[in-house]
Amino acid sequence: MYLQPLVEELQSLWHGVLGYDVFKPMGSRNFILIGILLWTIHDFPSYNIVARMAHQGYVACPICEPNFKGEHYVELGKHTYNQIRRWLIEGHPYRLARMKDHFDGQIETRNKPRNVIVEE
């Protein structure tokens, strides 16, 4: 609700609005002004509001979103995320076979994911 006026103005600037430059000679003062939003600073739950990215549930990682799956454990009553060991460096003790029983019973062999670019 607080961002709605800003979002509307940014959407109109994205498509372009008519501008007027008084320092140019007569006859060429009008131009199309286009604007973009370069970055925002906000907390993690604002991903849903600002970038339309999930921040809860089965797909909650904004970086590895399509390749990240959470599981719901009825006993715990919450979602758990077992694929976080892939962010550790290669050869880290938590990635070794002896530690698999402390996590989800699997050895983590994948590398960290690449950043996802969200397109509309």
The residue segments making up the domain with residue 93 are 42-120
Please check whether residues 118 and 68 belong to one and the same domain. yes
The Cα–Cα gap between 104 and 85 comes to 10
pLDDT digits (tens, 9 = 90+) for 15-57: 999 999 988 888 889 999 998 877 777 776 676 666 666 666 6
Please check whether residues 64 and 91 belong to one and the same domain. yes
The Cα–Cα gap between 60 and 57 comes to 6
Number of domains the chain contains: 2
* The pTM of the whole model exceeds 0.85: no
User: Apex CA 20: angle with CA 16 and CA 25, to 5°?
Assistant: 130
